[in-house]
Structure 1
Amino acid sequence: MNDVRIPSTATATPVRRGIPAVLAGVIAVVLTAVTLVLAPGAGTSAQAAGSWTSETIAGMNVRLYVPTTAPAIADGRALMVNLHGCVQTNADLQGAGNWQATADDYGMVVAVPAAPGGGVIAGCWDYYDANHSRSNPARHDDNLLALVDALLARSALGLDADQVYLSGLSSGGGETMVMGCLAPDVFAGIGINAGPTVGTTSSQISTVSTTKAAATSTCTGFAGSHTAGFDTQLTSVVHGNDDYTVNTGYNRLNAEVMAGLYGATATSPVTMSTLPGTSTNGSGTVWSDAEGPRVSLLTNTGLGHNWPAGGGPGGRYIKASSIDYPRYVTSFFFAHNRRVSGTTTGTPTPTPTPTPTPTPTPTPTPTTAPGPVDCWTTTNATHESAGRAVSYGSHPYNPFYALGSQDYLGQGNTTVTSVRETSAGVYRKVSVC
């Protein structure tokens, strides 16, 4: 069981400026249409290695998960900041967001802040309009940057500044896009879940009310002198086809805006059945540049205006029957991060390493000698055809994952990896057979 510690957090920050009346009206409609179910307590896992704490950082109550497992990349631990939606709370995401297992697997710290001062209304983040800056104390942006700075300064956490990620639902998704535009040098990856596009107003959630050109201009304007950060940033967008709160057209627009900023023009489909989660039906697209994937868009069939937890108890605007988005977005960021100098633990070199014999040794089928019969060293494509791995996208940019464990095996059909079957149908990546 987790040791869930929730110390008193009596300190409060002043409430931010008032929200426009029209947004208050929209939220009132949502409140009357949705049964508010308080999320159960913190999630548990038989393999839980870390613990949740609660403290005040940068003027916000922050639920912080720190694993004791080793970081997956040798450079240090990744940091994932996760933003709740309106009406929802950070306690909801702590208890039912399904972050813990993924955080343990990747050795990743997860920070779930509450919108400062209770949010603009009903807990909303103030994503809207175009007057965002890194230092404006009247907005939420400076609090989030201060949170990242404060956690990076804690040497005991061992965080790597090149592995700072941000994700969020609804107003938290809109704020995630704002921050990705405002500070592309800070956030190596952003995960936008049903968020309105940058530059829109609080009254425009039900209709797509901007264009790719306008949003691109707003985004680059937010970045100012930091536009070079777009050269290495990643974006993941996810939403449900049953979302009737935020217009679903914003999701493709968000993906297209970021792909345009990144110069990612090649597209390939996502094989949804290979994704982690309890209900993965839907469709997806990956945008790539010459070096590999940069932007991912997933549409999950049957998902409404919810955080797609893909497991756990479910809760307020959290759906358990969905893609496991915490695991998906984390694996997408770890697999394609352009800023890290290290490599994921156990990840092989990009090209096969033949044995130093005078003549090549052909391997038309998976070889196990001299290793045990439950371990194989061969190409990712062969692993997939043998039912030991899954992939999505197109060669050479298609990432592979070991079946059952979702261990990342690198990208490309010809990459050679070793996997061991640890139990029936569960394969784990190993350094050597």
Structure 2
Amino acid sequence: MKLDNFIAQMMESARLVQARDVSSATDVIQKALADAGLVAPNPARTPAATAEDDAAAFVDLNPAPAWSKTPQPRPQARARPARPARGPAKSPPPEDLPGKFIGGSFSCEAGTRRYKLYIPSQSTFTARPLIVMLHGCTQGSDDFAVGTGMNALAEKNGCLVLYPEQDGKANRNRCWNWFEASHQVRGVGEPELLAAMTRQVAAEHGADNARIFAAGLSAGGAMAAILAAEYPELYAAVGVHSGLAAGCARDLMSGLNAMKKPGRARALREGVPIIVFHGDGDHLVHADNGDAVLQQFVAVHAKAQATPLHVQHDEHQRGKRRCTQSTWRNREGRAVAEHWVVHGAGHAWSGGNPRGSHTDATGPSASGEMLRFFLEQAR
């Protein structure tokens, strides 16, 4: 199977890195991507390749959208291979919306990250909800905003939307480091940086502290689950799309294994409402991970009320995709968890805009359903 071969090659690259053979590890990564049809075969490596280019990377790739494809110049004699860009070659054209989409930077003891913030156009005398959107690997804030279409929904519903952006120096492929033990606990690493950024932006822009939410795709979805697990007093609900359970890995090797088969997720002390989206045709992060995320949070909700939750299953046809929606309700009848399985869908944001990367326009709108679920919640 494609996934089996891909994971095996990535695990071999990790073994080579541990053996300090980074050059061979990079060659294995490039071959894995080429065999999976995710990138063109890499040209022969030269002594000019830098140590940075040799660094092993955690991979989360889908075909690039049309806007990112630029004509390649013809090779000339004695031309040296160009160094791969650290960030996206381009950003998609911005959306034509009446609100403001501003950039900023946040620093704390845990580090520094850039971000973009969407501020809806309509004035209000009440505090606005704030949605924190965490992109997947190889993505950036502009790309994720366009691909998810969340800004347009936020404009209609009067929400602020914060897009933190991973730094290529922290992870070469701009993945949030969900698989590292040092980025899975409260008070340190990326979880602390993202939580502190959330608090500052919420304070500066008058967000409603009872309606702060987080959502993410793939590595971003896994980090959203960690934020919910470690900062339940801050985030009123979370959305995890094609992600993994909090604490299911401790390092790169166990993270790769978890992508293929969910690892044992830790029990949570406190749960927040959660909505999970996953395609059952996902070849990169197996759909069983969606079940693992869901059960991690359902278990703590059920324990809190000491009785089983009521679950309801519904079948839908949305666009060209069939999907199964499962809803867990507590004894007051409030939905505390939803699970959307999008049949036949791969590793991509469901109902997304094809102008952004990692999107599948043919399914239900993950952005619309997540926002609907979020706005039904209040701390």
User: Is the CA contact 1:216–1:261 (under 8 Å) kept in the aligned structure 2?
Assistant: no
Deviation at 1:146, TM superposition (A): 1.4
In 1, distance between residues paired with 2:290 and 2:227?
Answer: 16
Over 3 Å counting, the alpha-carbon distance change for 1:121 and 1:311 in structure 2 is closer
Distance 1:27 1:251, change over 3 A: farther
Q: Is 1:148 aligned with 2:198?
A: yes
- Which residue of structure 1 lines up, in the alignment, with residue 105 of structure 2? 56
Matched residue, 2:359: 318
Q: Output the CA distance in 2 between the equivalents of 1:26 and 1:266.
A: 45
In structure 2, how many angstroms separate the alpha carbons of the residues matched to 1:112 and 1:244?
26
Aligned-pair distance for 1:281? 1.8
Question: Structure 1 pair 294/182, CA: closer, same or farther in 2 (3 Å)?
Answer: same
SS in 1 for 2:179: coil
1:330 aligns with 2:371: yes
Deviation at 1:117, TM superposition (A): 4.7
Matched, 1:288 2:323: no
Whole-angstrom CA distance in 2 between matches of 1:28 and 1:124: 20
* Deviation of the 1:26 alpha carbon: 6.6
**Cα separation, 1, equivalents of 2:123 and 2:337:** 27
Q: Which has the higher helix share?
A: 2
Contact 1:43 1:96 (C-alpha < 8 Å) held by counterparts: no
Separation in structure 1 between the aligned mates of residue 168 and residue 122 of structure 2, nearest angstrom: 34
How big is the shift at 1:163?
0.7
Aligned partner of 2:228 among 180, 183, 190: 180
TM-score w.r.t. the length of structure 1 is: 0.62
Q: 2 CA distance for matches of 1:130 and 1:300?
A: 30
* Per-residue deviation, residues 309-335 of structure 1 (Å, max 9, x unmatched): x25344321222222111110101112
Distance 1:193 1:28 in 2: 27
Q: Which residue of 2 aligns with 1:299?
A: 341
Q: What is residue 214 of structure 2 aligned with on the other side?
A: 166
Residue identity opposite 2:37 in structure 1: A
Bigger relative contact order (CA 8 A; separation at least 6): 2
Question: Hey, what does 1:262 align to over in structure 2?
Answer: 301
CA distance in 2, matches of 1:100, 1:209: 32
The structure-2 alpha-carbon separation of the partners of 1:26 and 1:66, relative to structure 1 and needing over 3 Å to count, comes to: farther
The verdict on how the C-alpha distance between 1:99 and 1:30 changes in structure 2, with shifts beyond 3 A counting, is: farther
Q: Which residue of 2 aligns with 1:383?
A: none
The amino acid of 2:240's aligned partner reads I
Instruction: Tell me which of 129, 132, 136 is aligned to 1:85.
Output: 136
Partner of residue 236 from structure 1, selected from 272, 275, 289: 275
Letter in 1 for 2:299: G
Deviations 1:219-269 (A, max 9, x none): 33xxxxxx3xx3xx2100001122100111010111111011112621001
User: In structure 1, the residue corresponding to 2:201 is in which secondary structure?
Assistant: helix
Q: What does residue 75 of structure 2 align with?
A: none
Quote the sequence identity (%).
Answer: 20
- Structure 2: any 5+ residue segments left out of the alignment? 1-13, 19-24, 39-62, 69-90, 303-307
Cα distance in structure 1, aligned partners of 2:131 and 2:228 = 13
**1:250 is aligned with what amino acid?**
N
Letter in 1 for 2:233: D
The CA distance in 2 between the partners of 1:298 and 1:94, in whole Å, is 21
**Whole-angstrom distance in 2 between the partners of 1:178 and 1:100:** 24
Report deviation, 1:118: 4.3
1:33 and 2:47 are equivalent in the alignment: no
Structure 2: how far apart are the matches of 1:319 and 1:289? 32
* 1:272 corresponds to: 316
Is the CA contact 1:115–1:140 (under 8 Å) kept in the aligned structure 2?
no
Q: Corresponding residue for 1:365? A: none
2-side partners of 1:142 and 1:167: how far apart? Answer: 16
Query: How many angstroms does 1:70 deviate by?
Result: 5.5
For residues 261-299 of structure 1, the C-alpha deviation after alignment (integer angstroms, 9 at most, x for no partner) is 1126210013424xxx64452112011111221000001
Pair 27,266 (structure 1): closer, same or farther in 2 beyond 3 Å:
farther
The Cα shift of 1:69 comes to 2.7
Residue-pair matches, total: 293
**TM-score, normalised relative to structure 2:** 0.71
Q: Contact between 2:280 and 2:344, CA under 8 Å: does it hold in 1?
A: yes
Structure 2 partner of 1:197? 245
Structure 1: runs of 5 or more not aligned: 1-18, 221-226, 340-433
Q: Secondary structure at the match of 1:33?
A: coil
Alpha-carbon separation, structure 1, partners of 2:30 and 2:224: 20
Which amino acid is 1:184 matched to?
Answer: P
Q: Are the structure 2 counterparts of residues 109 and 216 from structure 1 closer, same or farther at C-alpha, using a change threshold of 3 Å?
A: same
Letter in 2 for 1:109: L
- 2:293 is the alignment partner of 1:251: no
Choose 1 or 2 for highest CA Rg.
1
Match of 1:66 among 111, 115, 119: 119
The one-letter code of the counterpart of 1:234 is: P
Q: Which amino acid aligns with 1:60?
A: R
Change (3 A) 1:260 1:306: same
